[in-house]
Amino acid sequence: MNRLIASYKSLINMRRFSILSRFRRGFPRTAKFLHLRWPLLIQTILVVGLIGGVVGPNLTASVAQEVPKQLTMLTSPDYPPYGYYITSGQDRKIVGFDIDIANTIARELGFELKVGESDFNGLIPALQAKRADFVMAGMTPTPERQKNVDFSEIYYEAKDTIVAPKTSNLKTKEDLKGKTVGVQLGSIQEGNAKKIAEKVEGLKIKQLNKVPDLIQEIKAKRIDAAIIEDTVAKGFTTSNPDLGFSVVPPEGPAGSAIAFPKGSPLVGPFNQVIQKMKTNGELEKLVSKWFSQTIAADGSTTTAAPAPEATTAPAPQAGLNLDFRRIIPDIPFILAGIPVTLVFTLSSVLLGLVWGAALSLLKISKIKPLEWFSFLYTSIFRGTPLLLQLALVYYATPQLTGYNITPYQAGVLTFTLNSGAYMSETIRAGIQAVDKGQSEAAMSLGVPYALMMWDVIMPQALKNILPALVNETIGLLKDSSLVSTIGVVEVLRASQIVGANKYIYFEPLLFAGVIYYLLVMGLTYAASALERRLRRSE
């Protein structure tokens, strides 16, 4: 029995090269497949069958003797109390209801749990790209999602609410007639809102990336209301007393389940543990731990705040009502994003410079295919959005190469490839602006081409283009905030996380803005010092 479980576990561990995934990819090539891969199919059926039969009550005991294997879980940690960051102090830790459940299941099955993160609408692509073994993010198993991933059974059922200004009196679905309603992009509430829109006349839907964005849109009066899950709504309305929420009856499928890549052998074992947690009351304990309480500013949990209806809400005021004291405990968490942003930017700039220099040499090489390659490359990377390139590199690399690229690596790679394209043009212009006599003088001394480029031409070219390179660096520094979309916790994402935890918006964003500004100023100063130094020869 032990041996069988061990082989099943190693199968999961090798998932990228696994028989299962090869089986699926190979499927369309039927003729060849039928001849060559039948044994694999039989193995697969055997393994799946074994898992069904083997994983039972004695599983915990059996696997305890094995070396613990790792399971990777992805979540979108901007969704308290399901999953969010503890942001006071520099310890970056994702906690929440989902994390507790995942830990319990992993422990029961004898795995070690690794928690990664992504934007909510990037979670399912990540599963399809096999970047993770499963996803928990308060996700509801809709038929659309079930086409792309497999789900466990429901572990918690949430209710939808309408969040709106208290003065607005929007309480029922019918009240939303002719109103604009905000939902989180890719969330279950988005689907529910569409169903409501079919019945309620003139309802317009606006999708945004994050729940905090929805709250700000209500306050800015760009939307009339938002449809948000009850526990989340509770937290936000407590922090924003001018808003209130009312629960509405469910619209089709509801409740949260764990998502897995299609055909994952983990579904069965996970369901067994969930069942066990339901029967032995463990799940109930976690529900009351996370949902009957409000998340306090320091990430610890305290007893519930008075219900929003009961709060004596101050009259809605004009202006932003900024209070920076609210983020003081979280400042170290945001500041810890600075080295990430800086190291990220500098490594991208340096690698981009090297790559750009190489491309620029191809462009002036007079070898036609190399020139064409280089110009085609540049036109593609300058002609498509950086955000799109980032998403492609991050999600496609594991599927194309089998290498599970980290968000950070994907970011540096994309930024290097992208800035290399821009820099190659700048450097080419810089090289061509160097007097032709310089290369003739070097050649007449017997200096070979490579050495001439390195010692004579490049230093002069770089000096000419230094201001352009500084601009590129400043651009990259600010664009580095784009990697927040694939879950690198740099300055912007750190501040968004703080905002999500505290149900506030402007303070952390403004704070991040100041950080970026100071970084750019520092960079500008350093660059002008460098420029002065290079000018010594003039």
Partner 1 sequence: MSNPVIRTEELCKAFGQLKVLKGISVEIAKGEVVAIIGPSGCGKSTLLRCLNLLETPTSGRVFFQEQEITAPGTNISRVRQDVGMVFQHFHLFPHMTVLKNITYAPIKIEKVPSEEAKDRAMDLLRKVGLAEKADVYPSRLSGGQKQRVAIARALAMRPEVILFDEPTSALDPEMVTEVLEVMRELALSGMTMAIVTHEMGFAREVANRVWFLNEGLLAEDSPPDEFFHNPKHDRAKQFLEKML
Question: CA–CA separation, 297 vs 288, rounded Å?
Answer: 19
Task: Pick from 128, 399, 438, 471 the residue near partner 1 by CB under 8 A.
Answer: 438
Residues in the chain: 538
Take residue 476 and report the two structure tokens written for it. Answer: 């990259």
Reference 357, options 279, 205, 461, 455; nearest CA is 461
Q: Is 58 exposed, middle or buried (0-12, 13-18, 19+ CB in 10 A)?
A: exposed
Q: Strands 180-184 and 225-229, how do they pair?
A: parallel
Residue closer to partner 1, measured from CB, 351 or 364: 364
Range in contact with partner 1 (rule: CB under 8 A) among 123-131, 180-188, 432-440, 495-503: 432-440
Kindly tell me which of 35 and 436 has the beta carbon lying closer to partner 1.
436
Q: Does 307 bind partner 1 (CB under 8 A)?
A: no
Does the footprint of partner 1 cover residue 531 (CB under 8 A)?
no
Q: Which two tokens stand for residue 461?
A: 């070219």
Q: Which is nearer to partner 1, 451 or 529 (CB)?
A: 451
Q: Which residues contact 417 (CB under 8 A, 6 or more apart)?
A: 355, 381, 389, 393
> How far is residue 458 from each of residues 370, 432, 433, 438, 461, measured CA to CA in Å?
20, 10, 11, 11, 5
CA dist., res. 502 & res. 299, Å (int): 9
Pairwise CA distance, residues 391 & 129, whole Å: 12
What is the Cα 155 distance to its own chain's centre? 24
Q: Which is nearer to partner 1, 329 or 459 (CB)?
A: 459
Q: Residue 276 or 463: which CB sits closer to partner 1?
A: 463
d(CA 218, CA 242): 10
* Residue carrying structure tokens 């968490």: 333
Distance set, CA 131 to CA 9, 319, 393, 396 (Å): 17, 43, 13, 10
CB nearer to partner 1: pick between 346 and 434: 434
Q: Is 366 helix (H, G, I), strand (E, B) or coil?
A: coil
Q: How far is the CB of 473 from partner 1 (least distance, A)?
A: 22
Q: Is 415 exposed, middle or buried (0-12, 13-18, 19+ CB in 10 A)?
A: buried
**DSSP-assigned beta bridge partners for residue 149:** 261
Contact pick of 380, 443, 518, 521 for partner 1 (by CB under 8 A): 443
Q: How many residues of this chain interact with partner 1, rule: CB under 8 A?
A: 22
**Distance of alpha carbon 134 from alpha carbon 72, whole angstroms:** 7
Using the rule CB under 8 A, give the single segment among 216-224, 260-268, 389-397, 431-439 that binds partner 1. Answer: 431-439
The residue range among 18-26, 375-383, 384-392, 433-441 that interacts with partner 1, by the rule CB under 8 A, is 433-441
What residues between 454 and 493 interact with partner 1 by CB under 8 A? 455-456, 459-460, 463
Q: Which residues contact 57 (CB under 8 A, 6 or more apart)?
A: none
For the CB of residue 524, give the shortest distance to partner 1 in the complex, in Å.
23
**x/- map, 68-107, partner 1, by CB under 8 A:** ----------------------------------------
Q: How far is the CB of 82 from partner 1 (least distance, A)?
A: 59
Q: Does 367 bind partner 1 (CB under 8 A)?
A: no
Locate the DSSP E strands across 118-231: 134-135, 149-156, 160-165, 180-184, 204-208, 225-229
Query: With binding defined as CB under 8 A, does residue 444 bind partner 1?
Result: yes
- Site for partner 1 contains 316 (CB under 8 A): no
Pick 198 or 538: Cβ nearer partner 1: 538
Out of 451, 514, 518, 521, the residue judged to bind partner 1 by CB under 8 A: 451
Q: Which is nearer to partner 1, 32 or 532 (CB)?
A: 532
**Who's near 16: CB < 8 A, 6+ residues apart?**
130, 398, 402, 404
Question: Looking at beta carbons only, is 62 or 439 nearer to partner 1?
Answer: 439
Instruction: Decide: is 445 part of the binding site for partner 1 (CB under 8 A).
Output: yes
For residue 81, say if its preceding peptide bond is cis, omega within 30 degrees of 0. Answer: yes
98-106, 181-189, 212-220, 447-455 -> range binding partner 1 (CB under 8 A): 447-455
* Candidate list 169, 435, 518, 522; residue touching partner 1; CB under 8 A: 435
- Applying CB under 8 A, among 65, 312, 317, 537 the residue interacting with partner 1 is 537
Cα of 200 vs its chain's centroid, Å? 34
Q: Binding segment for partner 1 among 137-145, 229-237, 344-352, 451-459 (CB under 8 A)? A: 451-459
User: Which burial class, exposed, middle or buried, applies to 20 when counting CB atoms under 10 A from its CB (0-12, 13-18, 19+)?
Assistant: buried
Of 440, 514, 528, 531, the one binding partner 1 (CB under 8 A) is: 440
CB of 458 to partner 1, least distance (A): 10
Residue 211 or 453 having the CB closest to partner 1 = 453
Q: Which of 36, 441, 521, 526 binds partner 1 (CB under 8 A)?
A: 441
Residues 144, 100 contacting (CB under 8 angstroms): no
Q: Does 437 sit near partner 1 (CB under 8 A)?
A: yes
Which residue, 196, 195, 182, is CA-closest to 227? 182
**Least distance from C-beta 434 to partner 1, angstroms?**
10
Q: Which is closer to partner 1, CB of 249 or CB of 437?
A: 437
Using rule CB under 8 A, residue 530 touches partner 1:
no
Considering the complex, state which of residue 305 and residue 534 has its C-beta at the smaller distance from partner 1: 534
Answer for which of 28, 448, 532, 533 binds partner 1 (CB under 8 A) is 448
Answer yes or no whether residue 536 interacts with partner 1 by CB under 8 A. Answer: yes
Cβ atoms 104, 273 nearer than 8 A: yes
CB nearer partner 1, residue 174 or residue 435: 435
Residues at the site binding partner 1, with contacts judged by CB under 8 A = 435, 437-438, 440-448, 451, 455-456, 459-460, 463, 534, 536-538
